[in-house]
Amino acid sequence: QQQVKQSPQSLIVQKGGIPIINCAYENTAFDYFPWYQQFPGKGPALLIAIRPDVSEKKEGRFTISFNKSAKQFSLHIMDSQPGDSATYFCAASKGGSEKLVFGKGTKLTVNP
């Protein structure tokens, strides 16, 4: 009930491609879904977050798509750049007011 399943484990795209990272959850009480970005040697940093009252949220080149009925959400990176190469974690919590449950992470490599 507390798990968030993330896929793929790793992803390689060419510059300009649109990598998509997917997450699925079981606990229907979850209603806050952030994505964190982590560069090597650094701590994770909040990238973008969504609540289930909307189906999509965009911030710059990053978009979260949310499917409440399927209990899935995904991160899309438009016009990906080598600087986007990092590990991305999805997460979920109840109302943003309890501890986060993290996915296992996706290592993204964007080749020049």
Counting every residue written for the chain, the total comes to: 112
Pick 47 or 110: Cβ nearer other proteins: 47
User: Rounded to the nearest whole angstrom, what is the least distance from the CB of residue 13 to other proteins in the complex?
Assistant: 22
User: Rounded to the nearest whole angstrom, what is the least distance from the CB of residue 79 to other proteins in the complex?
Assistant: 26
Interface ranges with other proteins (CB under 8 A): 32, 34, 41-46, 49, 89, 91, 93, 96-100, 102-105
Which amino acid, residue 29?
A: A
Instruction: Tell me the C-alpha distance between 91 and 94, whole Å.
Output: 11
Pick 46 or 78: Cβ nearer other proteins: 46
Pick 79 or 98: Cβ nearer other proteins: 98
User: Rounded to the nearest whole angstrom, what is the least distance from the CB of residue 45 to other proteins in the complex?
Assistant: 7
- Neighbouring C-beta atoms of residue 27, cutoff 10 Å: 15
- Neighbouring C-beta atoms of residue 66, cutoff 10 Å: 19
Tokens 């909307």 found at: 54
